[in-house]
Amino acid sequence: MSKPREPLRLDVRTTYKLFIGGDFVRSESERTEAVAGDDAARVARASRQDLRLAVAAAKRAFEAWSGATPPARGEALYRLAEALDARRAQSIERLRAGSKADETEAAREADAAIDRTLWYAGWCDKYALVGSAVAPVSGPFAAFAQPEPLGVVAVLAPDEPSLLGLVASAVPPLVSGNTVVVVASENDPRSAVGFAECAAAAGLPRGTLNVLTGRRIELAPHFARHPDVAGLHAFGLDGPFAAELERVAAEDLKRCRILPAPSQADWYSSESLELADVVAFTRLKTVWQPALI
């Protein structure tokens, strides 16, 4: 008697969505792209309108996020680290599929992303003390300078390492109270979507972190000229492209921080953990107070 045949099953095709204003949504253009190494998966390709919606969501969230107490922001980022740790196995699986890394390298990157998020969470209630100063003045006054956030920061995450690079570029602006719109790695966009899932699970206020997947060359110029974007953060862009972004951003005095791509070793080095990453998107507010004589 022949054995019964196993029932045929169809692949469940997955479309990874954008993360805008706390919701996972399709691109308004309905454009998608194939995910490398997975015939059953596609990722949304963000349009200019998606970018506008993400910036608007970040702008709406700025007052609440920047107005939260530093310990409250630190607690929120700590929960983000907890969510990343809880989904560590899933992150490793996606990193292996996206970057073709072996399990050891994928685990190393996932662990570094968790540790980096936790490290920055600890700075939320400390960076202002380090960045503040009392300026000497001639007269019966005291001048106090303290950092405050800029507003909406656009982040162009590096292609490699996809998860650790996203954490290292997107989390520091959040520490000081900025809200963020990220364009994910083009090589491995699913890891960025997983990071967005962790942000949603951690309960970050809606719109505080927004994640777009798509083409960097399409989206970056619109960030540079958008009037509601206060800063632009990127790694390893082509020289002429970076120069053009800086030229366009200078028209309304955006803060640009476009850095060379670190080496693989530098991404994991403890020396790459700098407070400069946090204060890069702050400005000093000076308060004058009459001195008691």
Mean pLDDT of the chain: 88
Does residue 53 sit within a domain?
Answer: yes
CA 246 remoteness from chain centre? 19
pLDDT of residue 274: 77
| pLDDT for the residue numbered 286 | 76
Q: Residue 133's pLDDT band (boundaries 50, 70, 90)?
A: low
88-111, pLDDT tens digit by residue? 999 998 888 876 678 889 999 999
- The total number of structural domains in the chain stands at 1
Q: Which domain holds residue 116?
A: 18-33+42-290
253-292 residue pLDDT tens: 999 999 888 887 788 877 667 788 888 899 887 776 776 5
Confidence tier at 141 by pLDDT (50, 70, 90): confident
Indicate whether 9 belongs to any domain.
no
Whether 1 is in a domain gets the answer: no
In a domain, 142, yes or no: yes
Tell me what pLDDT residue 123 has. Answer: 92
pTM of the model: 0.89
Q: Is residue 5 part of a domain?
A: no
Residue 13, domain member (yes or no): no
Least confident of 19-28, 187-196, 250-259, 279-288: 279-288
Confidence of residue 2 (pLDDT cuts 50, 70, 90): low
Using pLDDT thresholds of 50, 70 and 90, give the confidence band for residue 154: very high
* Residue % of the chain over a pLDDT of 90: 63
Which is higher by pLDDT, 101 or 119?
119
Q: Is the pLDDT of residue 132 over 90?
A: no
Residue 170: is its pLDDT beyond 80? yes
Predicted confidence (pLDDT) per residue in 36-52, tens digit: 766 668 899 999 999 99
Most confident of 24-38, 196-210, 251-265: 196-210
- CATH for 138: 3.40.605.10
Question: Tens digits of per-residue pLDDT, 214-266?
Answer: 999 999 999 999 999 999 999 889 889 999 999 999 998 999 999 888 887 78
165 pLDDT tier (thresholds 50, 70, 90) = very high
In a domain, 11, yes or no: no
Within-domain flag for 266: yes
Cα–Cα distances (Å) from 247 to 29, 171, 182, 221, 230, in that order, read 29, 25, 21, 10, 14
